[in-house]
Amino acid sequence: MAPAILTQRPRILFLDAYDSFSNNIVALVEQTVNVDVIKIFIDDANLSKVTTSGDHAAFTDYLKTFDGVIAGPGPGWAKCDKDVGLMRELWELRDEQLLPVLGICLGFQSMCLAFGADIQRLEEPKHGIVTTVLHKCQSIFRGVEHLLATQYHSLHVKLDHPIQTKRAVRYPAQLWESTDSCPQLEPLAWDFDSERNGAVLMGVRHVQKPFWGVQFHPESVCTNEEGKRIIQNWWADAQSWNRKRIFRNVPKHNLASKTQSSPMTVADFRRELDLYTAKNQSKHSRLGFVENVDSKTIAPEKLASLIARGDGQSLPYLPPYIVHCRTTGSGRLTVADVCELLEMPRREAIVLESGLQSNLLPMAVGTGRYSIIGVVIPGETLRLHYYAGIQRMQLRDGHDKVHTEWNVADPWPYVREVMKSIQRPIPPGNSTWAPFWGGLMGYASYEAGLETIDVNGHEEASYPDICFAYITRTVVFDHQIKKVYVQSIRGIHDKGWVDGTLEKIYEHAGLKSRESTPSSTGLAQVDPFEAHSMMHQYIDSCQQSTAGQNEYCDKVRACQDAIADGQSYELCLTTRNEVRARRPAACRISHAEDNEHSWNLYKRLAGQNPAPFSAYMRMHNVHILSSSPERYISWDRSQTSQCRPIKGTVQKKPGVTADIAHAILSSSKERAENLMIVDLTRHQLHGVYGSENVRVSQLMEVEEYETLWQLVSVVEAVPDGIHTAKTAEDWENPREYASRMRVEKSAPQLGFEAFVKSLPPGSMTGAPKKRSCEILKDVEDGVRRGIYSGVLGYLDVGGGGDFSVVIRTAIKIDDDQSNDKEDVWRIGAGGAVTSQSTPEGEYEEMVAKFGSTNRAFMPPPAAKPKLDRRAIEIIEPDDPEFAELLASMRGGEELTLDDAQLMLRAVEQELRRRAAAGEVDDVTEVE
């Protein structure tokens, strides 16, 4: 507990222009100087009110409660009132109202504009680029040494300085002289990094007023330590100005609702601010209701109770008990084996799978250790749906029938309340370290995410935008120690199921271990005998359609135009590709067949493109086959969070060696792309975990996947006082925080808050997030991204959670199928566009990402096809060419794809002939 503070700490107001780095600045300031920072948006409804005489009285009154202001960065132009909002008022304060201001980037540009400068486009925008800043060693730069600072700007300040107009000065000291057009602005720093941009102004101070500003971003993770010194200097100068001022007639610190005797902590202010924001957002009330709710509206608590305790009729009574769990070795059993053993493929199912190497070991430490099978119990498993746009929420019973539906402005308070009511802070009676005991499993779409940042107006979708199932029975694989947990949160009452399932798994594992060669998934090597199957014909019928190159390149250019105009720093452009296939007759008549077919497609995908966040989900009208490499966010039961944003992609192709891939991914283009998302992710975690508790534990490391190399960073957030993971292994290792004490003491639901507040995933939007999403909506012609670009995973009753970013994923929606003879699989793909991108390069990258998923819809690659020995034995080929091939195959030699196909056709014919002649019962007998 912090000791009581007798006097209140100084307060700094942060004006947030809807940037995605704001909380990093707040964190930097709170870490560097002894102040509390209070953040408001530049268009705060109450403070933006203007009196009849044109005064911003509410704002100027509010300012009196502060000791300084930071005008932050943001998208757009200082010339545009909407982009800077209240910032503009700062520069017009009367002398007696003045207070010290630091402008950063947009805030700096706004200040310079107010005092005579012009704002213009840079020739070459700089986003996520680290440059050396030349400075005067004076004012806020005093004592600053070699300053390396991250730039995020497309626009810059023109003072009409000789170095800007003539690209030269007469003598060095002239660099620091004011110009005729801006006599009050004294240059403090310049950047000469780019030949094309010439000298770019990086810092100024106002010669009379307490205003300072910098163009670069002192808070970026890649700005060196000197960034801190600038903040210290500014605050020292601000305080000394405050001390000298003679006016200042209004007592400050009257904002808080707390009594003076209890000091306010940072957390208090955050809460205060949250309440304040909630009050001001008329549409989003605390409970999330819209004004015209329908009569069936229910409170979050009521929903939570229905889910946990049922209704005595169609909803079962299922309060979570202590987790009941038994374990056994997994041996060579695969996740697919267990799913099939539990007869899941023909029904609804949710499986989160860590792709494995061929030796069945995890592909990656830190992300690939566990796989989770959520058992959907027919007739019983409850589901929660939310439809964005129409903002409708539904509780569905085990038969997928709507039990209750109601309108909400914000679905997340409901999910939060449900998790609260089913939460079991008490660890299981018999030890299970599995990261998931039971709880909600499912997804949230991109559009559901957009609503959390007030980007609205989506067309209604035929599938739920949020879909969670309440999972009470699970099988969890720990691939590292080859162990399976069979768990039920229905406690000892469910002993029968746990015992029975364990028994089945145990027996099957025994069987499997007596079989031969291990293989990481059921179909890692595609069985050529698919040739006879429904699958073969299906794959043969697949027709791929991707965005046209010209059209896509035009969209890349549109993104780059928006970036050049200062509206965004980076935009993750995506497009919707499709695979159409003839729907097998069996799937038309039987849902079970159709489900199983999706499952088989998933096995192909998981086998061909193993990924740490593979997932199969078959719920309601949704079929999801995912091979995502990217973690959105996970948090353990002590609420330590981890995000693993990916940005930077190199396709594997002939001539691109690992060295070349590393070289490309070390280029400034790829690193800039990644850096922006790292800073964005830090911002989001800072907003929930507070200033002291976020760190980047891995900055831009290259990870190798089946078809691509990716640049991956890791950002972690830790609640106060919890020990942190130090290595990747550490992250997924069972630690002492599963103990009763630890769990009960930890901050409740911090991870969940970070999960909701970081939607939609920043790596799918770009930065600044809100403006970028608005631009992307336009550029992507308002087409819904849907589940692609959303997140998929679980919320655990023990308090943890883990979600992937839904990419490299094929999605089929039953009701969307144009006719019942055709399946339409949508495979979204895209990539981050920056000012350094080339349209053709971006197109190639999109196609490569699409290709990694599309492999599941393509005939098997030419790699070493093998024939089932039984098949070879029943064939007596009379075709000499075939005989020769067969002989060569028996000798163990490799076959080309053409050879193999030729052979397979011959085998197929032979089998047909035999079936027709009654020599075998049925073609499938030998499959």
Q: Which stretches within 379-521 are classed as H helix?
A: 412-422, 446-452, 495-514
Provide, rounded to whole angstroms, the least separation between the CB of residue 646 and ligand ISJ. Answer: 4
14 binds ligand GLN (CB under 6 A): no
**896: burial class by Cβ within 10 Å (0-12, 13-18, 19+)?**
exposed
Within 108-127, the residues that bind ligand GLN by CB under 6 A are: 109
Q: How many H-runs (helices) and E-runs (strands) does the chain carry?
A: 27, 33
d(CA 919, CA 236): 94
d(CA 542, CA 533): 15
d(CA 142, CA 792): 49
Q: Using CB under 6 A, pick the residue from 23, 24, 139, 154 that binds ligand GLN.
A: 154
Instruction: Tell which residue, 388, 421, 264, has the closest CA to residue 748.
Output: 421
Residue (126 or 784) nearer to ligand GLN, CB: 126
Residue (106 or 455) nearer to ligand GLN, CB: 106
In the block, tokens 């990916």 appear at 646
Residue (29 or 665) nearer to ligand ISJ, CB: 665
Residue 602 · residue 616 · CB < 8 Å: yes
Residue 855 · residue 605 · CB < 8 Å: yes
Residue (109 or 139) nearer to ligand GLN, CB: 109
703 binds ligand ISJ (CB under 6 A): no
39 binds ligand GLN (CB under 6 A): no
73 binds ligand GLN (CB under 6 A): yes
Provide, rounded to whole angstroms, the least separation between the CB of residue 649 and ligand ISJ. Answer: 4
- Options 10-18, 321-329, 542-550, 642-650: segment touching ligand ISJ (CB under 6 A): 642-650
300 binds ligand GLN (CB under 6 A): no
785 binds ligand ISJ (CB under 6 A): no
Q: Using CB under 6 A, pick the residue from 29, 90, 93, 106 that binds ligand GLN.
A: 106
Instruction: Tell which residue, 95, 101, 96, has the closest CA to residue 86.
Output: 101
Please list, in sequence order, all residues whose beta carbon lies within 8 angstroms of the beta carbon of residue 318, skipping any fewer than 6 positions away: 307, 308, 309, 310, 470, 472, 490
Provide, rounded to whole angstroms, the least separation between the CB of residue 572 and ligand GLN. Answer: 18
763 binds ligand ISJ (CB under 6 A): yes
Q: Using CB under 6 A, pick the residue from 572, 625, 797, 875 that binds ligand ISJ.
A: 572
Residue (83 or 417) nearer to ligand GLN, CB: 83
**261: burial class by Cβ within 10 Å (0-12, 13-18, 19+)?**
exposed
715 binds ligand ISJ (CB under 6 A): no
Angle between helical axes of 668-689 and 22-32 (0-180°, round to 10): 70
Q: Using CB under 6 A, pick the residue from 688, 767, 829, 875 that binds ligand ISJ.
A: 829
What, of ligand ISJ, ligand GLN, none, does residue 566 touch, CB below 5 to 8 Å by kind? ligand GLN
Write a three-state SS string for 368-407: CCEEEEECCCCCCCCEEEEECCCCEEEEECCCCCEEEEEE
Provide, rounded to whole angstroms, the least separation between the CB of residue 464 and ligand ISJ. Answer: 22
Provide, rounded to whole angstroms, the least separation between the CB of residue 216 and ligand GLN. Answer: 9
Within 376-435, the residues that bind ligand ISJ by CB under 6 A are: none
What, of ligand ISJ, ligand GLN, none, does residue 152 touch, CB below 5 to 8 Å by kind? ligand GLN
Question: Tokens at residue 633, please?
Answer: 């966010």
Q: Using CB under 6 A, pick the residue from 326, 385, 490, 808 that binds ligand ISJ.
A: 808
Residue 592 · residue 346 · CB < 8 Å: yes
Question: Tokens at residue 133, please?
Answer: 């800043």
Provide, rounded to whole angstroms, the least separation between the CB of residue 117 and ligand GLN. Answer: 13
In the block, tokens 């990924």 appear at 611
Residue 836 · residue 669 · CB < 8 Å: yes
Q: Using CB under 6 A, pick the residue from 648, 687, 766, 786 that binds ligand ISJ.
A: 648
152 binds ligand GLN (CB under 6 A): yes
- Options 72-80, 289-297, 400-408, 671-679: segment touching ligand GLN (CB under 6 A): 72-80
Provide, rounded to whole angstroms, the least separation between the CB of residue 532 and ligand GLN. Answer: 60
**20: burial class by Cβ within 10 Å (0-12, 13-18, 19+)?**
buried
Q: Using CB under 6 A, pick the residue from 10, 68, 75, 398 that binds ligand GLN.
A: 75
Instruction: Tell which residue, 212, 213, 209, has the closest CA to residue 245.
Output: 209
d(CA 813, CA 463): 7
Residue (572 or 694) nearer to ligand ISJ, CB: 572
Provide, rounded to whole angstroms, the least separation between the CB of residue 708 and ligand ISJ. Answer: 9
Cross-strand partners of 131: 149
Instruction: Tell which residue, 749, 750, 754, 731, has the closest CA to residue 681.
Output: 754
d(CA 808, CA 505): 31
State the number of binding residues for ligand ISJ (CB under 6 A).
Answer: 18
CB neighbour burial string for 188-216, b if at least 16 within 10 angstroms, e if fewer: bbbbebbeebbbbbbbbbbeebbbbbbbb
d(CA 809, CA 341): 25
What, of ligand ISJ, ligand GLN, none, does residue 74 touch, CB below 5 to 8 Å by kind? ligand GLN
Q: Using CB under 6 A, pick the residue from 67, 447, 630, 823 that binds ligand ISJ.
A: 630
- Options 60-68, 401-409, 470-478, 647-655: segment touching ligand ISJ (CB under 6 A): 647-655
780 binds ligand ISJ (CB under 6 A): no
What, of ligand GLN, ligand ISJ, none, does residue 76 touch, CB below 5 to 8 Å by kind? ligand GLN
Q: Which stretches within 609-667 are classed as H helix?
A: 658-665
Residue (174 or 667) nearer to ligand ISJ, CB: 667
| Beta strands in 721-866, from DSSP E residues, in sequence order | 766-767, 791-796, 801-805, 809-813, 822-833
First to last CA, the chain: 68
Provide, rounded to whole angstroms, the least separation between the CB of residue 77 and ligand GLN. Answer: 7
3-class DSSP assignment, residue 51: coil
Instruction: Tell which residue, 104, 138, 125, 70, has the closest CA to residue 220.
Output: 104
153 binds ligand GLN (CB under 6 A): yes
- Kind plus residue range of the DSSP H or E element containing 756: helix 750-757
Give 551's DSSP letter: H
- Options 110-118, 151-159, 289-297, 390-398: segment touching ligand GLN (CB under 6 A): 151-159
d(CA 908, CA 149): 66
- Options 167-175, 813-821, 824-832, 910-918: segment touching ligand ISJ (CB under 6 A): 824-832
Residue (294 or 551) nearer to ligand ISJ, CB: 551
Residue (75 or 362) nearer to ligand GLN, CB: 75
What, of ligand ISJ, ligand GLN, none, does residue 105 touch, CB below 5 to 8 Å by kind? ligand GLN
Provide, rounded to whole angstroms, the least separation between the CB of residue 119 and ligand GLN. Answer: 8
Instruction: Tell which residue, 708, 718, 658, 662, has the closest CA to residue 686.
Output: 718
646 binds ligand ISJ (CB under 6 A): yes
- Options 93-101, 227-235, 505-513, 805-813: segment touching ligand ISJ (CB under 6 A): 805-813
Q: Which stretches within 534-618 are classed as H helix?
A: 534-541, 549-564, 585-589, 591-608
Site string for ligand ISJ, 831-870 (x = CB under 6 A): xx----------------x---------------------
Residue (110 or 640) nearer to ligand GLN, CB: 110
155 binds ligand GLN (CB under 6 A): yes
697 binds ligand ISJ (CB under 6 A): no
Q: Which stretches within 711-838 are classed as H helix?
A: 728-732, 740-745, 750-757, 769-779
Instruction: Tell which residue, 618, 837, 640, 806, has the closest CA to residue 720.
Output: 640
Q: Residues interacting with ligand ISJ, by CB under 6 A?
A: 572, 574, 630, 646-649, 763-764, 805, 807-808, 828-832, 849
Q: Residues interacting with ligand GLN, by CB under 6 A?
A: 73-76, 105-106, 109, 152-155, 566
